[in-house]
């Protein structure tokens, strides 16, 4: 089922929750709404579900406008952050609840419940109560309850936020597997960057009730549209700079730490003030003919598979760097050559 959101706006008193949001979610897509608390992503999800009505704009499922259509007539399945399971019912009874409300006969209910529990790999605990299950199992029961009604659209509201780190990793893989198996169009709300990067087909990054960027995870991470997106989707180093020369999309940027070459910079003018950004993993130890710095190791943090460095550049600016599968020990206060490839550097306008 294709979802189209056209100019959605919503206010709560003086609070502007959403401002003219337009998005298209493709049929069978796993689409993420990503952003900090208060950015409007849950409000947008509730509007899609029908729990909240927009002040302006339209919600379309395929060729059908759903404005004014109540939630129970939209054929959506929703998974909440807090599971919302009935404690006095068994797992099977919880999953069957939506089918009972819709008037399904007992034999058909039993068949659909069994299929849903098989999908989430919980058929062996059908007779247990929610209190006898782990947090991860309870969340899978909530997912089965949403899937059993064969929804056109599946809505997930921060479904993994109450789980510990290990369970979150397991459930990420499980949700992606279930989506690939069922092919249900899915709208997933989260503030966790790793969830969206590892699971999504596409991501909409939201801020203050508006969409900052929409794209595939790799594109959003490597080519952020704004500085906010760059900072929110992952760590980023920033150097203030000024365009020295710009020709054919490649420019030279003067910073207090040295001059950098940057690609894909045709939109900038000579002498324009800019922010120069690059990810910690883009910082390489070694010698290069471009974008070379001499850096002093200010701090070292060993993380097993990674070693994280805080490096001081000429001019007193500090940046972060990551070394994957670290072998060589770089002690504090030692100096090392580092560089950043031009393709890994991005620019944004700076207001002095």
DSSP letters spanning 163-204: S-HHHHHHHHHHHHHHHHHH--EEEEEES-HHHHHHH-SEEE
CA angle 322, 226, 348 (to 5 degrees): 80
Fold for 3-231, please state it: Rossmann fold (3.40.50)
Distance between CA atoms of 176 and 158, rounded to whole angstroms? 15
pLDDT digits (tens, 9 = 90+) for 102-134: 888 888 888 999 989 988 888 898 889 988 988
For 181, 189, 211, the CA distances from 154, given in Å and listed in that order, are 13, 11, 21
pLDDT score for 160: 84
How many CA atoms lie less than 13 Å away from 256 in the CB half-sphere?
A: 11
pLDDT digits (tens, 9 = 90+) for 286-335: 998 889 999 999 999 988 888 999 999 988 899 999 988 888 888 999 99
Q: What tokens does 348 get? A: 């944004």
Mean of pLDDT over the chain: 91
109: enclosing H helix or E strand: helix 106-119
Distance between CA atoms of 187 and 224, rounded to whole angstroms? 22
pLDDT score for 352: 63
Instruction: Record the pTM.
Output: 0.89
Distance between CA atoms of 74 and 153, rounded to whole angstroms? 9
Distance between CA atoms of 179 and 171, rounded to whole angstroms? 12
Distance between CA atoms of 131 and 297, rounded to whole angstroms? 51
pLDDT score for 249: 67
pLDDT score for 137: 87
What one-character DSSP code corresponds to residue 103?
Answer: T
Give the architecture-level CATH label for domain 236-349: Beta Barrel (2.40)
pLDDT-above-90 percentage for the chain: 59
pLDDT score for 3: 97
pLDDT score for 208: 95
Residue with tokens 């709208």: 187
User: Which of 219-228, 242-251, 268-277 is the least confident region?
Assistant: 242-251
pLDDT score for 248: 67
pLDDT score for 324: 87
Contact 193, 33 (CB under 8 A): no
Work out the average pLDDT over 50-74: 94
pLDDT score for 168: 84
pLDDT digits (tens, 9 = 90+) for 155-183: 999 988 878 888 888 888 889 999 999 99
- Per-domain residue ranges of the chain: 3-231, 236-349
Distance between CA atoms of 5 and 211, rounded to whole angstroms? 12
DSSP letters spanning 217-285: HHHHHHS-SSHHHHHHHS--EEEEEEEEEEETTEEEEEETTEEEEESS-TT--TT-EEEEEE-GGG-EE
pLDDT digits (tens, 9 = 90+) for 200-215: 999 999 999 999 999 9
More confident residue, 73 or 326: 73
Q: What tokens does 347 get? A: 């620019």
Helix axes 91-101, 135-147, angle to 10 degrees: 20
Please return the burial class of 138, using the count of CB atoms within 10 Å of its CB with bins 0-12, 13-18 and 19+: buried
pLDDT-above-70 percentage for the chain: 99
pLDDT score for 61: 96
Q: What tokens does 64 get? A: 């059908």
* Band of pLDDT at residue 199, cut at 50, 70 and 90: very high
Work out the average pLDDT over 334-352: 90
More confident residue, 96 or 101: 96
Does 218 have pLDDT greater than 70? Answer: yes
Distance between CA atoms of 352 and 350, rounded to whole angstroms? 6
Count Cβ atoms below 10 Å from residue 332 Cβ, excluding itself.
11
Q: What tokens does 133 get? A: 């299950």
pLDDT score for 105: 86
């Amino acid at each position: 089922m294709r979802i189209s959101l056209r100019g959605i706006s919503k206010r709560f008193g003086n609070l502007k929750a959403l401002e003219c949001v337009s998005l298209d979610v493709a049929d069978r897509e796993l689409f993420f709404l990503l952003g900090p608390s208060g950015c409007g992503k849950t409000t947008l999800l509730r509007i899609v579900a029908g729990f909240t009505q927009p002040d302006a704009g339209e919600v379309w499922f395929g060729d059908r406008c759903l404005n004014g259509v109540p939630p129970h007539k939209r054929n959506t399945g929703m998974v909440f952050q807090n599971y919302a399971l009935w404690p006095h019912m068994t797992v099977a009874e919880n999953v069957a609840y939506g089918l009972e409300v819709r008037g399904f006969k007992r034999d058909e209910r039993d068949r659909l419940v069994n299929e849903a529990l098989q999908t989430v790999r919980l058929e062996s605990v059908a007779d247990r109560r929610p209190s006898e299950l782990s947090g991860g199992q309870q969340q899978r029961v909530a997912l089965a309850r949403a899937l059993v009604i064969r929804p056109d659209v599946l809505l997930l509201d921060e479904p993994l936020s109450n789980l510990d780190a290990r369970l979150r990793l397991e459930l990420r893989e499980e949700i992606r597997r279930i989506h690939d198996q069922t092919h249900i169009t899915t709208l997933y709300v989260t503030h966790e960057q790793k969830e969206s990067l590892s699971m999504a087909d596409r991501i909409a990054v939201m801020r203050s009730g508006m969409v900052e960027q929409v794209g595939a995870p790799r594109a959003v991470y490597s080519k952020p549209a704004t500085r906010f997106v760059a900072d929110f989707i992952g760590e980023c180093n920033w150097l203030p700079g000024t365009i020295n020369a710009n020709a054919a999309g490649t420019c030279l940027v003067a910073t207090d730490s040295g001059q950098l070459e940057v690609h894909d910079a045709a939109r900038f003018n000579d002498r324009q003030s800019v922010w120069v950004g690059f990810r910690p993993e883009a910082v390489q130890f070694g010698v290069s003919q471009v974008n070379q710095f001499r850096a002093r190791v200010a701090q070292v943090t060993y993380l097993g598979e990674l070693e994280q460095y805080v490096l001081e550049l000429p001019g007193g600016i500090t940046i972060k760097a990551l070394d994957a599968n670290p072998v060589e020990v770089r002690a504090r206060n030692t100096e090392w050559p580092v560089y950043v490839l031009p393709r890994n550097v991005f620019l944004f306008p700076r207001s002095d």
